[in-house]
Structure 1
Amino acid sequence: MGRRPGVTATQPDEPVPELASLPDTSATPDHRWGFGAFLVVEATLLASAAFISVLLGPAPPGQAIPVSDVLIGTMLPTAFAALVAVLFTVWRGNGPLIDLRLSWHWADVRLGLKLGVLGLALTTVGAFVWSQVVGPNNSTSAISALVEDQPMSVTAAVIMFVYLWLIAPICEEIIYRGLLWGAVERLQWGREKWGRLAAFLLSTAVFAVSHLEPLRTTLLLVIAVPIGLARLFTGRLLGAVVAHQMNNFLPALAMLLTALGVMTL
């Protein structure tokens, strides 16, 4: 039956998130990169971190690592690895916007914010439980250990805060929920529902293990689940980036205050 003039139809309730259909890319060729590209990027991350560590050298006996070394050693390897990942999509694919599912959708932002808040709650509870199991001295991240009891200038502390909150999540999502996820999707079954679940599980596990912090791997798995769900539900990368940034905000803020000597971890 038709509506009477002047009567507006009732809007349906917002649907429960479910596995979104992948963006239509039938008009573009499949990318020609896969797991080999991801392995090269992961090797680049590890090799560049080791090279920078050797290049900077150890701290003088009895002295803390210089702040400039902390910033360089923390930021450059991940940023360089993400750049290599993007170059792979340009060289052997359709570019990062298509291959890594990078596009702006407000629905993805909203879902990322919701799952990011969930991630913060899980991180807070998980970190408390984990510190009780392994002890507070063994539950902090490697970056937290570097800045603990080491006052920074305001400029250096703000740079670290912005990197940990905004930039690092973008770089890490390009590598894990972008390149690694896309490598799984390239398989024959990768675009099916169960293949995407496999991409979610594999990227979550590799993300946790790749931080090379064995005592925190279980906690990192908990942290990674909401981030991966954002990628799974939307079929795109933006939601995962936003969820990751939300999850990193409070830890980055705590590190900023610690670096400035306002509080102690």
Structure 2
Amino acid sequence: MGWRQRVTTTQPGEPLDSIELPDPPATPVHRWGFGAFLVVEAVLLASAAFVSVLAGPVPAGAQIPVRDVLIGTITPTVLAALVAVLITAWRGNGPRIDLRLEWHWADIRLGLKLGVLGLVLTTVSAFIWTQAVGEHNATSAIGALVEDQPMSLTAAVIMFVYLWLLGPICEEIIYRGLLWGAVERLPWGSERWTRLAAFLLSTAVFAVSHLEPLRTTLLLVIAVPIGLARLFTGRLPAAIVAHQMNNFLPALTLLLTTLGVLTL
């Protein structure tokens, strides 16, 4: 329900009058929905397939070059996120409004707390999952890549920054931003059920979209604290921070493995 403001005015020699002003205009509803999300997913998958063919295979035993990290791993996700932002500018009110990209320190603090919770939950779940499926089957796609072939130090540092900081921003724009906003446009009924539906669907799609069937259950567990950050605050930055916190240890493990400090 909107609010109405009452203003009192006086005229010389006249009694006080009350004037009821109309509701202020609501934020315009964006004109994009699930079609926009499908376009972004298509860009992500098509660009990943294209750059993998363009880069070509790395010779056995050779180091993974910086070019392959930048083009093969980072470019598809960044490109898809940029397309999502452009769609909000073209068919909506821009990323700040449509994707709820408004920064509040309270959101950052909550994101950090849920990120720490996610780290603990992920660590415990990963241990249980590894015991259930075996260490080799529990390895992520990035982990398998490093395990099969060495990575140059420069490439490892770039991958560390991407996995820890840039990747979560791009993925949250796509899933807890664009997909979440698409779900919110549907007539679910109350706002409470709409947000719950957005949380559940974005969590499930996020897990499945990694295309790692054996790890889908684990990815669902990982995604829950991140989705809760978006659900509790109603904005995207909290989810970004929670995602970055969750990715810190895996990214650090990859870097330390490249330096020879750890072995996978």
> Taking structure 1 as the reference length, what is the TM-score of the superposition?
0.87
Query: Is the Cα–Cα contact under 8 Å of residues 98 and 181 in structure 2 kept in the other structure?
Result: yes
Report what 1:174 is aligned to: 173
Q: CA deviation at 1:65?
A: 4.6
Change (3 A) 1:61 1:81: same
Report what 2:216 is aligned to: 217
Q: CA deviation at 1:63?
A: 4.6
Q: CA deviation at 1:107?
A: 0.7
Q: CA deviation at 1:190?
A: 6.8
Q: CA deviation at 1:28?
A: 2.6
Query: Is the Cα–Cα contact under 8 Å of residues 231 and 239 in structure 1 kept in the other structure?
Result: yes
Taking only aligned residues, the RMSD between alpha carbons, in angstroms, comes to 1.7
Q: Distance in 1 between matches of 2:66 and 2:146?
A: 8
Change (3 A) 1:191 1:169: farther
Report what 2:54 is aligned to: 55
Matched residues, number: 241
1:38 matched to 2:37: yes
Query: Is the Cα–Cα contact under 8 Å of residues 151 and 261 in structure 1 kept in the other structure?
Result: no
Q: Distance in 2 between matches of 1:108 and 1:26?
A: 26
Query: Is the Cα–Cα contact under 8 Å of residues 33 and 183 in structure 1 kept in the other structure?
Result: yes
Q: Distance in 2 between matches of 1:263 and 1:50?
A: 31
Report what 1:201 is aligned to: 200
Query: Is the Cα–Cα contact under 8 Å of residues 60 and 149 in structure 2 kept in the other structure?
Result: no
Report what 2:259 is aligned to: 260
Q: CA deviation at 1:167?
A: 0.3
The residue type paired with residue 205 of structure 1 is A
Identity, in percent, stands at 82
**What pairs with 1:22-33 in structure 2 (closer than 5 Å)?**
26-33=25-32
The residue type paired with residue 43 of structure 2 is T
Query: Is the Cα–Cα contact under 8 Å of residues 185 and 191 in structure 1 kept in the other structure?
Result: no
Q: Distance in 1 between matches of 2:154 and 2:65?
A: 14
Query: Is the Cα–Cα contact under 8 Å of residues 120 and 246 in structure 1 kept in the other structure?
Result: yes
Deviations 1:52-96 (A, max 9, x none): 111112233565654531342110110000000000000000000
Deviations 1:37-65 (A, max 9, x none): 00000011011000011111223356565
Q: CA deviation at 1:195?
A: 1.1
User: Which segment drifts farther, 203-212 or 254-263?
Assistant: 254-263
1:121 matched to 2:120: yes
Q: Distance in 1 between matches of 2:95 and 2:67?
A: 31
- Larger RCO of the pair (alpha carbons < 8 Å, separation 6+): 1
Change (3 A) 1:40 1:115: same
Segments of structure 1 that go 5 or more residues without pairing to the other structure are 1-24
Report what 1:96 is aligned to: 95
Change (3 A) 1:154 1:65: closer
> Taking structure 2 as the reference length, what is the TM-score of the superposition?
0.87
Report what 1:9 is aligned to: none
Q: Distance in 1 between matches of 2:61 and 2:101?
A: 46
Q: Distance in 1 between matches of 2:59 and 2:207?
A: 32
Query: Is the Cα–Cα contact under 8 Å of residues 48 and 76 in structure 2 kept in the other structure?
Result: yes
Report what 2:82 is aligned to: 83
Q: Distance in 2 between matches of 1:225 and 1:243?
A: 10
Q: Distance in 1 between matches of 2:63 and 2:154?
A: 18
The residue type paired with residue 170 of structure 1 is I
Change (3 A) 1:67 1:155: closer
Report what 1:134 is aligned to: 133
